Structure 1
Amino acid sequence: MTDPAFTPDIEAINRIDAVPVILSMVKHLTGMRFAAVARVTERNWVACAVDDSIDFGLLPGGELVLESTICHEIRQHQQPVIFGHASAHPIFSVHHTPKTYGLESYISIPIIQANGDFFGTLCAIDSVPANLDEPAIAKTLTLFAQLIAMSLDTQSRLEATTVELSNANELGRLREQFIAVLGHDLRTPLSAVRMSADLLHSKTEDKRSLNLIAAIRNSSVRMGVLIENILDFARGRLGSGIPVQRKFVQDLEQVLQLNVAEAQAAYPQATFVHDLDLPMGVYCDALRISQLLSNLLSNAATHGSNSTPIVLKAFAEHDEIVITLTNHGTPIPAQLLPRLFEPFTRAEAEQSREGLGLGLYIAAQIAKAHNGTLHVTSDAEAGTCFTARFPARLHPSP
């Protein structure tokens, strides 16, 4: 009965289509009537494939006592062993293996995998002498052994890749579930909080209570922004990217103006100036472009100086829409610029700031989803300028 521990090795050899041909060629080249591929370990000698014309009685899965074989020695020195006439050989005439199995001719080539692991041997035996002095025989069988080793290595890599692909698919499924759960399980209770706050506000006249309700509402709004940022981060980093639906937007300029008005209300200490000159009819996801600009405006108001205005410009250039936002203040450190659009970068750089540091990452992902780009320059004289570009028209896929 085959030891289950060696079933994978036997199956691996059987999956190599060339093995039966190799064993047949070994017999043909050597004139010997038994050839096999053996798995040889510290304790076991197991036949993985056999071509037997002398009724040696060994089948795939069959074992020999390891110490009774020469392969036990080959495993240690990892060199071929060849003799064509054991009874006339100075060493093997007294060796226990030929005597035990009644062998006169023997050849065994080690099978060594790319990582240096010793798998076993490609061997041939016979009870009659054979002419094995021709150097081409040893060279050919060595090539056969190398071919088997390479095939085993290929199988191992394929199996590892299959496992990685399966794990990646499972991970992708879990990511999508995570995004769905995150969206549902966080949004639902937050909506309840907002609705409860609105209901309390409509039924309360006490000034102190109204202030507390206002704080709850403001906190829930901030929480909602954080949740949306986390969701977009999950989609962009863990899922298939931030989704956009590019449609024909008649007046993108008005959308950007509303963004500026909202930013001015949210940051009354800042001064916003805009110069918008956009054509009528742009293909984009207006909500996502609005989100991109909101993130840039919030970033500028948070990190820029209140003594100079934040300047927004939007215009068409060579069939592209260009949106620039410039603010002054402390320049962004040069070492931070290459990583600025990576998630959590600003949060790491300025621990005292609120938020997760996802705003610029999400803005860059929105630009990318529009087949566009988002770049930044920053110095003390010109200030910090973010420039977003994306095609104004839809183009057919190649």
Structure 2
Amino acid sequence: MFYLILKFSKLLTKLFQTKLLNTRVDIKSDIETISRIPAVAHILEIVCKTTGMGFAAVARVTTEKWIACAVRDEINFGLVPGGELTLETTICNEIREHRQPVVIDHVAEDEHFANHHTPLTYGFQSYISIPIILKNGDFFGTLCAIDPKPAKLNNPTITGMFKMFADLIAFHLDAMEEIAESEERLQLEKETSELREQFIAILGHDLKNPVNAISNSSQLLNRMDLDYRGQRLVNIIHDSAFKMTGLIENMLDFASGRLGGGISLTRTHYSNLDTILDQVISEMQIISPERRLMANYDFKHPIYADGKRIAQLFGNLLANAVKYSPAEALIEIVADSDHNGFVLRVSNPGKPIPEEVIERLFQPFSRGEVSPDQKGLGLGLYISFEIAKAHGGTLSVSSCEEQTCFTLNIPAQ
């Protein structure tokens, strides 16, 4: 148990760290992401061939750094992916602030940039840089190109091409970010789900022994000569232990089904199941002696099933019928078998189940409308459905103003 608590604590820490890291700028990750976009290399090649410029790059521009993520260098400018320029020496730093394209055909003839420190520092005469803006509005960097010779860049064809390529790069970055976040969320959800189910399984095992001890002790006390008050207390203990045992079994089966691949069965051939079914009914009558239960059996054909699992399923259906029917209601149990298979029906009058509830009734933790004294985990019908499925059968429900009926159908084998 301590191990699971520690593991859960580590999982929460991992979740917090993941969210924290996602808020930071990870330059290395950005370079790797750009390198995984196949179109980038083709974009830089087209840019150079179309404009005649010798250097093109996709740059990551932050408040602190200018980093080359992808490069095509035909003029020996000297930058490679991961290479860095001093941020303040670049025009991209200005673009980060105003988020507008900068296009220069000929630096020496440009009124604004003729004496600008950037071309003086790096020795280029032609320059174009288009901002790359992500879907959330964040500024990623620029798609830029330079050359020591003048070039005809400031025209709709060239600027339109650059803007289209910048948008395409932004689209890929957004898509890859969404995929990465989805995979990360799925992994965290998987780990959380597995941890929760391990916790349920271990908790169930830890609870089983003391509950068995309580149940056995109540049975021993029941054999003693007790007064009315003592007998009443013993019945309360026995009733509570019975309910707790059912909850624990459902918890264990839920965890086993999720972690182990389904409900396990140990099948046997039965000429009939009346003893098993009567035992469940007797147990329910001890717990609820005032309730009216009527059973009719007609077994004409052997049944190949797991008797313990059938008893568990029947107990869940019977407890459900008692819980959701009026105190004076008659609960009817019908079981029969023939060459087609085994059928078990549990019917009770009561408030009809709404259609939208029926659609999810056999899902885990799903429950109908309940009163404050009808609380539970919502696993009984889910486990019953899984038991039916493990037998190759079905568990269905019909509900109307007259009655609600659950039907188990297991085909002959």
The TM-score normalised by the length of structure 2 is: 0.77
Q: Aligned pair 1:375/2:394, yes or no?
A: no
CA–CA separation in structure 2 for the residues paired with 1:355 and 1:50: 62
- Equivalent residue number for residue 51 of structure 2: 30
CA–CA separation in structure 2 for the residues paired with 1:359 and 1:331: 19
CA–CA separation in structure 2 for the residues paired with 1:206 and 1:331: 39
CA–CA separation in structure 2 for the residues paired with 1:331 and 1:17: 62
1:199 Cα deviation after fit: 7.7
- How many pairs are equivalent? 384
CA distance change for structure 1 residues 311 and 49 in 2, over 3 Å: closer, same or farther? Answer: same
Given that residues 367 and 388 in structure 1 are in contact (C-alpha distance below 8 angstroms), is that contact kept between their aligned partners in structure 2?
Answer: no
CA–CA separation in structure 2 for the residues paired with 1:312 and 1:59: 79
Given that residues 172 and 239 in structure 1 are in contact (C-alpha distance below 8 angstroms), is that contact kept between their aligned partners in structure 2?
Answer: no
Q: List per-residue Cα deviations over 1:84-134 (Å, max 9, x = no partner).
A: 212223433344433333221111122222333221111110111123356
CA–CA separation in structure 2 for the residues paired with 1:309 and 1:197: 29
Q: List per-residue Cα deviations over 1:346-377 (Å, max 9, x = no partner).
A: 6x722134755543444344445545232141
CA–CA separation in structure 2 for the residues paired with 1:217 and 1:327: 25
Bigger Cα displacement from structure 2, 302-311 vs 312-321: 312-321
- Equivalent residue number for residue 392 of structure 1: 411
CA–CA separation in structure 1 for the residues paired with 2:219 and 2:295: 34
Matches within 5 A, 1:315-334: 315=336, 319=340, 321-328=342-349, 330-332=350-352, 334=354
CA–CA separation in structure 2 for the residues paired with 1:228 and 1:388: 22
Q: RMSD across aligned C-alpha pairs, in angstroms?
A: 3.7
Given that residues 179 and 235 in structure 1 are in contact (C-alpha distance below 8 angstroms), is that contact kept between their aligned partners in structure 2?
Answer: no
CA distance change for structure 1 residues 83 and 375 in 2, over 3 Å: closer, same or farther? Answer: same
Matches within 5 A, 1:132-143: 132=153, 135-143=156-164
Given that residues 348 and 405 in structure 2 are in contact (C-alpha distance below 8 angstroms), is that contact kept between their aligned partners in structure 1?
Answer: no
Matches within 5 A, 1:138-177: 138-177=159-198
CA distance change for structure 1 residues 222 and 333 in 2, over 3 Å: closer, same or farther? Answer: closer
Q: List per-residue Cα deviations over 1:249-290 (Å, max 9, x = no partner).
A: 433542434433443444332232223334524454432232
1:223 Cα deviation after fit: 2.8
CA–CA separation in structure 2 for the residues paired with 1:40 and 1:99: 21
Give the partner amino acid of 1:388: T
Matches within 5 A, 1:213-292: 219-235=240-256, 239=259, 243-245=263-265, 247=267, 249-254=269-274, 255-292=276-313
1:17 Cα deviation after fit: 3.7
Match of 2:84 among 63, 67, 76: 63
CA–CA separation in structure 2 for the residues paired with 1:156 and 1:332: 48
Given that residues 201 and 256 in structure 2 are in contact (C-alpha distance below 8 angstroms), is that contact kept between their aligned partners in structure 1?
Answer: no
SS of the counterpart of 1:310? strand
1:392 Cα deviation after fit: 0.7
Unpaired stretches in structure 2, ≥5 consecutive residues: 1-24
CA distance change for structure 1 residues 113 and 390 in 2, over 3 Å: closer, same or farther? Answer: farther
CA distance change for structure 1 residues 173 and 17 in 2, over 3 Å: closer, same or farther? Answer: same
CA distance change for structure 1 residues 355 and 116 in 2, over 3 Å: closer, same or farther? Answer: closer
- Equivalent residue number for residue 331 of structure 2: 310
Given that residues 194 and 220 in structure 1 are in contact (C-alpha distance below 8 angstroms), is that contact kept between their aligned partners in structure 2?
Answer: yes
CA–CA separation in structure 1 for the residues paired with 2:187 and 2:32: 21
CA–CA separation in structure 2 for the residues paired with 1:228 and 1:97: 74
1:239 Cα deviation after fit: 4.7
CA–CA separation in structure 1 for the residues paired with 2:203 and 2:398: 31
Given that residues 175 and 239 in structure 1 are in contact (C-alpha distance below 8 angstroms), is that contact kept between their aligned partners in structure 2?
Answer: no
Give the partner amino acid of 1:385: T
CA–CA separation in structure 2 for the residues paired with 1:199 and 1:275: 32
- Equivalent residue number for residue 104 of structure 1: 125
